[in-house]
Structure 1
Amino acid sequence: MGSELKQNSNKLQLNPNWANLQKSLTSHGGPKPSKPSTDQSEIPTGILGKRKERSDSKLGDNPLTPVSDDFSLTDAVAMDCEMVGVGQGNRSALGRVTLVNKWGNVIFDEFVRPIERVVDFRTQISGIRPRDLRKAKDFCFAQKRVAELIKGRILVGHALRNDLKALLLSHRKEDIRDTSEYPPFQREGHRSALRHLAASFLNVEIQSGEHCPVEDARAAMLLYEKNRKDWEKLAKDQIRLKLKQKKRKPRKKTKQRDGLHADDATTAA
């Protein structure tokens, strides 16, 4: 009996301590969390931040990736077209046309059904397949839409003469920025292919297989934007030179006319 009483007394002595511990915990608002748990809200943020940095770095590896979500129509637009073969296959017709704004975001991208029958899709280069033209836009629709988008704007591209010819459109020479004709991009006066310019000046590979007009238009636009200040200065200088030449030509003609009148007068005398 004595041993049992001692055991019961020990149990009675422990119960108040346990009650006091519970009381102290409740009075302090519960047990204090450990240090790692206090930063629990910060840990996911840090992890997400690292993931975001990784994704940005991956996107940053390709300079052709747009850096803005702005899809508005900017003062400068870049265009690239892909052609298909018509007639005997040796004549080119528009098969796809793409326009991007100065940020590289697509503002127009449509497959185009040529007026003539396509005999060569040139898929290895154009990337166009028969299924792409089954529900393609009519040529007139694409032509009209492109004309509206480029009107009054700086038009950027590579060998734009071919693209405008395929669209049966014209554009003010003063507003054309052709990467194939920009002197700093030429080697010993010879034009370079767009893929060579992209590799040399942008450190990016394009046109390794089927051409992507979106990628090509972005490359042309980025080449322009990186050299925009000097390019625009050169364009202004060329315009001034042309104006001077136009002013000089009439003077020469008037002098020649004055000389002819003088000769006529002497002969008449």
Structure 2
Amino acid sequence: MVGVGPNGSVSALARVSIVDFHGNVLLDQYVKPTQPVTQYRTWVSGIRAKHLRHASGFKAVTKHVSRLIDKKILVGHAIHHDLRALAIDHPPELIRDTSTYQPLWTLANTDRSPSLKNLAKLVLDLKIQKRSHCSVESQISKK
């Protein structure tokens, strides 16, 4: 996500990554936001202006994503944020969200949603998000 609007205060989709069950990258694409970017949030997103110069348009990307995920089970962490950013509705019965799965809360010894970074370390012994956020790395950690 990058920031648009005054001081980059509104989040906008700038990259989409989808991996399959085996960790194969099905899609990793930069997306041109519909409004001018006012804050790249590079320290978190890893995205720079050069990544968006030749990026695909929002509508084309969301159409492609919709086709890829149609009738598929989605696994993600707080995946409702991703679907909202894509402006895609997906049947709730086809969503598995690691942020709301209570046994993971127990494993993380918390009464609130554990971070993906903590879950990746606890469950998979993976260190992710050491620097800027990489959407492919995050997807693979959800395997």
- TM interval, shorter chain, is over 0.9
Q: Name the counterpart of 1:179.
A: 98
* 1:106 maps to 2:28: no
For the residues of structure 2 that align with 1:159 and 1:165, how far apart are their CA atoms? 11
Number of corresponding residues: 139
Q: Which secondary structure does the structure 1 equivalent of 2:31 belong to?
A: strand
Deviations 1:54-98 (A, max 9, x none): xxxxxxxxxxxxxxxxxxxxxxxxxxxxx0001121111101000
User: Pairwise mapping of residues 226-237 of structure 1 onto structure 2 (< 5 A)?
Assistant: none
Q: Distance in 1 between matches of 2:111 and 2:66?
A: 31
* Residue aligning to 1:210: 132
Counterparts in 2 of 1:67-216, with a 5 A limit?
A: 83-88=1-6, 89-186=8-105, 187-216=109-138
Report the secondary structure of 2:13's partner residue: strand
Identity of aligned residues (%): 45
> What secondary structure is seen at the aligned counterpart in 2 of 1:161?
helix
Distance in 2 separating the partners of 1:136 and 1:176: 28
C-alpha RMSD of matched pairs (Å): 0.8
What SS does structure 2 have at the residue aligned with 1:210? Answer: coil
Structure 1 contact 85–122 (Cα < 8 Å) conserved: yes
What SS does structure 2 have at the residue aligned with 1:181?
coil
For the residues of structure 1 that align with 2:87 and 2:111, how far apart are their CA atoms? 28
Letter paired with 1:114: P
Change (3 A) 1:174 1:110: same
Q: How big is the shift at 1:189?
A: 3.0
Q: Write out the 4+ residue segments of structure 1 that deviate beyond 6 Å after TM superposition.
A: none
Could you tell me which residue of structure 2 aligns to residue 235 of structure 1? none
Counterpart of 2:55 in structure 1: which amino acid?
A
> Greater relative contact order: 1 or 2 (C-alpha under 8 angstroms, separation 6 or more)?
2
Shift of 1:188: 3.8
Give the gaps of 5 or more residues in structure 2.
Answer: none
Please state how far the C-alpha of 1:219 moved relative to its aligned partner.
Answer: 0.6
Higher helix fraction: Structure 1 or Structure 2?
A: 1
Q: TM-score, normalised by structure 1?
A: 0.51
Contact 1:206 1:215 survives alignment (8 Å):
yes
